[in-house]
Amino acid sequence: MPLIIFAAMVLALAGYLTLCFLAVKYVIMPGLVWVIAAGAVIGAVMVASSLLATLAGAGRSAARTVGPGDVNDPRWFSKAHSPFERDRAWPQYLVAQAREDVETAVRHIWARHTKVWIPAHEWVRRELPYPAAWWPLLIVLYGGLVAYTAGVVTTGLGLVSLIAVVVSVTWLVWLAAAGAARGTDTLVRRIRRASGSCPHCYHVTSLPTYRCRCGQMHRDIRPGRLGAVFRRCGCERLLPTTVLRAAAVMDGLCPRCGEPLRPGAAVLTDVRLPVFGPVSAGKTRLVFAGLEALRQHVTAAGGEFKPTDDHSRREYDMGTEVVTSNEDTTKTPAGQEPVAITVRILSGKRKGLLHVFDAAGESFADREANARMRFLDQAQGLVLVIDPFSISRVADELSTTVLDAARPAKDDPETAYNLTAQRLRDHGARLRSLAVTVVKADLLLDLPPATGLVAESDVVRTWLVDKGLENMTLAAERDFAEVRYFLVSSWTGWRATDALTAAAPLLWLAGRAGLPITEPESIGRSS
């Protein structure tokens, strides 16, 4: 009996193996070729569809949007080289969203198309008794799954690589465009020697903050990750990306204190000229007369001269009225940091902003008060006002009546110079150009101490040395890169045609600071 059972089992096994052999050779193998081909094609079609659905943002395939709220996320952006966070604006697609799209597509493809193995495996375990006995059928099933997965992986890798190449090429084109825009913006402004100086805190910047109409601050408007030609603010408004274009449509603000800058700040040549000297030396009158004479000079040459803001307009109008009607100027209040009179000048092809600072003389007589005069540190040139009647050797030669009429400055110019130069050195300021300006020439020239004095730099220098200011002139020439000496009259020199015009030091310093002002043909100075 056991022998019969054994023989039956051997026969059954032989029959099973024969059937398996025939099935594999004549059914499974021919069918497997078609199953593999179909599996691979279906896998390729599925992965392409998934990728396209993600890129098209279809339904649940859509990638998360990388928007203005993500610009400070270290996953997308390295930390900005700035004390401030990145501006809240839409990032350029290639910077972050392209990566998010591709990563989302890969995640979806992996999650959806590799899961087909799990239901197939469960079906085999659930529906087939003794699954191993159905191995010829499993060859077809798993062969098809392998082909499908291979189609998914191969096509997926191929398409993602293709997208990576396209994104990289587009990125290079974009980088070139952004670099060109940024480079041009920087170069043009450097050539112009443009900068923006804050009338409130005196901070000088080449990169003002711009405020969108929604109130959002844009601290770095230059072409970059947030846009090459335009950027889109978080409020959806489209903004220009270069400082040159932004300044034309938005108000610039000081990045340090947030106060408004003058129109044209950081776009036009910026010339900052403080006037300093002892109390009652004649600084304010020199500023008023100098600006009025400068206006006449510029307009005679066909240029434009215009105060930029209400404060400057008010001060300029008042000052012009004072000097043209020969009224006395009022004493500049002590203890306050001055607000510059700013004028916009168009001369030839050059446009610029000229800021003239006039602080009270007390600020230059006291080391502590002088230390607070922050506007001095960013100056491209300075005007040192010397009242000749305050020089002891000059005063010694004159009668009390004459001196009383001249109302000389209270302190000697050397003290004001030394304190100011020391302050500038202490604060690391660059000492570039100094216009040493002897004022009250209309009174001085008729008196004996002025014998031989004329409005020429070398002559004025020699005269100052003769009158005992040799130490000061030597110190000035040692401290500053350039020093020139002027002789002016603030009483008659408000006329550009006057031989002692008060515009002379301003014209020289503006030219040295990158704002050369054209000499008018018609102007002929009286002597």
Partner 1 sequence: MIEVPIHYWILRGLLIGVVVVTIGTAVVLVPWKELFLQLDAVVSQWPADLVRRVEEGS
Q: Which is nearer to partner 1, 101 or 412 (CB)?
A: 101
| Region near partner 1 per CB under 8 A, out of 12-20, 89-97, 114-122, 378-386 | 89-97
- Print burial letters for 274-310: b (CB count within 10 Å at least 16), e (below 16): bbbbbbbbbbbbbbbbbbbbbbbbbebbebebebbbe
**Does residue 34 touch partner 1 according to CB under 8 A?**
yes
Positions in 107-166 near partner 1 (CB under 8 A): 159, 162-163, 166
| Region near partner 1 per CB under 8 A, out of 87-95, 319-327, 416-424, 464-472 | 87-95
Positions in 234-293 near partner 1 (CB under 8 A): 236
Token couple for 482: 């350039």
In the complex, least distance from residue 176 CB atom to partner 1, rounded to whole angstroms: 16
**Does residue 25 touch partner 1 according to CB under 8 A?**
yes
In the complex, least distance from residue 501 CB atom to partner 1, rounded to whole angstroms: 56
Q: Which listed residue (146, 167, 371, 402) binds partner 1 by CB under 8 A?
A: 167
**Chain mean position to CA 242:** 9
Contact 460, 504 (CB under 8 A): no
Q: Which listed residue (93, 117, 134, 142) binds partner 1 by CB under 8 A?
A: 93
Q: Which listed residue (112, 200, 232, 432) binds partner 1 by CB under 8 A?
A: 232
CA 165/CA 55 separation, integer angstroms:
16
In the complex, least distance from residue 29 CB atom to partner 1, rounded to whole angstroms: 6
In the complex, least distance from residue 90 CB atom to partner 1, rounded to whole angstroms: 5
Q: Which residue in 509, 527, 512 sits closest to 291, CA to CA?
A: 509
**Does residue 106 touch partner 1 according to CB under 8 A?**
no
Q: Which residue in 98, 100, 102, 94 sits closest to 50, CA to CA?
A: 102
In the complex, least distance from residue 44 CB atom to partner 1, rounded to whole angstroms: 9
Contact 353, 264 (CB under 8 A): yes
Q: Which listed residue (33, 111, 214, 474) binds partner 1 by CB under 8 A?
A: 33
The 3-state DSSP class for residue 84 equals coil
Token couple for 333: 């209040």
Contact 481, 431 (CB under 8 A): yes
Long-range contacts, stretch 169-178, CB < 8 angstroms, 24+ apart: 170/94, 171/94, 174/92, 174/94, 174/228, 177/223, 177/228, 177/229, 178/223, 178/224, 178/228
Q: Which is nearer to partner 1, 159 or 394 (CB)?
A: 159
> Which amino acid makes up residue 155?
T
Site for partner 1, rule CB under 8 A: 25-26, 29-30, 33-34, 37, 48, 51-52, 55-57, 65, 67, 90, 92-94, 97-98, 101, 159, 162-163, 166-167, 170, 232, 236
